[in-house]
Homo-oligomer: A and B are copies of this chain.
Amino acid sequence: MIVVMKVGTPESEIDRLSAEFKANGLSPEKIVGKHKTVVGLVGDTVDMDALQLQDWSPWIEQVLRVEKPYKRVSREYRQGEPSEVVVSTPNGPVTFSATAPLVVVAGPCSVENEAMIIETARRVKAAGAKFLRGGAYKPRTSPYAFQGHGESALGLLAAAKAATGLGIITEVMDAADLEKICEVTDIVQIGARNMHNFSLLKKVGAQDKPILLKRGMSATIEEWLMAAEYILAAGNSNVILCERGIRTFDNQYARNTLDLSAIPVLRSLTHLPIMIDPSHGTGKSEYVPAMAMAAIAGGTDSLMIEVHPNPSKALSDGPQSLTPDRFDRLMQELAVIGKAVGRWETQPMPVLV
């Protein structure tokens, strides 16, 4: 860390502060500038809070962090090697990683009834998806809007899994539901609105299922990585990072701004695998194909696409869902890009008997 002192700081204050730094196991080194003095702190400062450090003296103008505040999620933590999140599904293990083929996750926003979820599962599996997404518990802006079918929807996801062998991804909103969700799901999703729900992060970090961590709608890349650090620090290192659109000044045509530049930025900072959700990211089904193709060319490890057998009758998020027919076509379009960048799986998965 670099501690910048205010103009006019008395020498004695710098000495006092230096002594205090030493007492805390840090080695301060002083640079006397033309106008200002700065103190460089050598030592392990990764666990320190820059803002807190600022409180040590009223003469401190600014504390600049040189070391990154995260450790376990950093690329350096694995000596630059991307991690592999291997998820077992009835159809066999699926690997999310920069070193593995692209994984496609598809399904409806909400689980509505048995017929729709099983039909959707069959269709997305046939088109090449490896996971079925579907919400049992839904975060909705309005208390009067459909909140998900809850526990009964979990049963329907289990039925779809049994029928197709697909892995399941569903969201947890309340730690009290975690145990029963984990009986069914293969990956536990933390939604954008709960990315900063630290109690929940600690609890999902203390269990074994892999976690899909969506980016908060106004979370910086660094805050997002720190949320992942909570999960890794609690003991679970199987985390997938999912960009799903951020909030900017413009939401007139696209509902959010899908931040595809998160792909190369994350790649340079972390070993964790990356997923892109162009359905929530744009909020309009007509923009989904272009953004899905862009995401693959940009280097994503995984895609999450909303598919609904009848978007115009969906209980939630219909406008951003593709029909199964459109999804079939999209998978063919994606294959062209996926093959061009060498991320398309050529071997068929083992079939569930």
Chain A residues at the B interface, C-beta cutoff of 8 Å: 2, 4, 7, 29, 31-36, 38, 40-44, 46-47, 49, 51-52, 54-58, 62, 64, 66-67, 69, 76, 139-147, 173-176, 193-194, 196-199, 202, 217-218, 220-223, 226, 229-230, 233-234, 246-254, 257-261, 263-265, 267-269, 281-282, 286-287, 289-291, 293-299, 311-319, 336-337, 339-341
Q: With contacts A143-B226, A197-B197 known, what are 4 further pairs, Cβ within 8 A?
A: A176-B199, A258-B261, A261-B290, A339-B340
Report whether B268 and A286 are in contact in the complex, using a CB–CB cutoff of 8 Å: yes
Q: Which residues of B are found within 8 Å of A290, using beta-carbon distances?
A: 261, 263-264, 267, 297-299
| Cα A179 to Cα B258 with chains together (Å) | 40
Given contacts A265-B253, A287-B264, contact A198 B173 (CB under 8 A): yes
Whether the pair A250, B221 counts as a contact (CB closer than 8 A) is: yes
- Smallest CB-CB separation from A233: which chain B residue? B143
Q: Could you say how many copies of this chain the assembly holds?
A: 4
Residue in B36, B46, B66, B297 whose beta carbon sits within 8 Å of that of A38 in the complex: B66
Residues of B within 8 A of A336 (CB): 340-341
Minimal Cβ-Cβ distance residue in B for A44: B34
Nearest-CB distance from A24 to chain B (Å)? 12
What's the Cα separation between A32 and B264 when bound, in Å? 29
A7 (CB) vs chain B CBs: closest residue: B76
Minimal Cβ-Cβ distance residue in B for A283: B51
Q: In the complex the two chains form, is B252's CB within 8 Å of A54's CB?
A: no
Q: Can you list the 4 inter-chain pairs with the closest CB atoms, starting with the nearest?
A: A55-B318, A294-B298, A218-B218, A297-B297
Nearest opposing residue in chain B for A49, CB measure: B145
Are B261 and A142 neighbours in the complex by a CB distance under 8 Å? no
Which residues of B have CB within 8 Å of A34?
A: 42-44
Cα(A223)–Cα(B57), bound, Å? 29
Question: When chains A and B are docked, how far (Å) is the Cα of A339 from the Cα of B251?
Answer: 33
Please report the C-alpha to C-alpha distance between residue A269 and residue B250 in the assembled complex, in whole angstroms.
15
Chain B residue numbers with a CB within 8 Å of A36 are 66-67
Task: List 23 contacting pairs A-B, 8 Å CB cutoff, sorted by A.
Answer: A7-B76, A33-B41, A33-B66, A36-B66, A47-B144, A52-B314, A54-B319, A55-B313, A56-B312, A62-B66, A139-B196, A143-B198, A175-B175, A220-B250, A222-B252, A248-B259, A249-B251, A257-B261, A261-B287, A264-B287, A294-B294, A297-B298, A340-B340
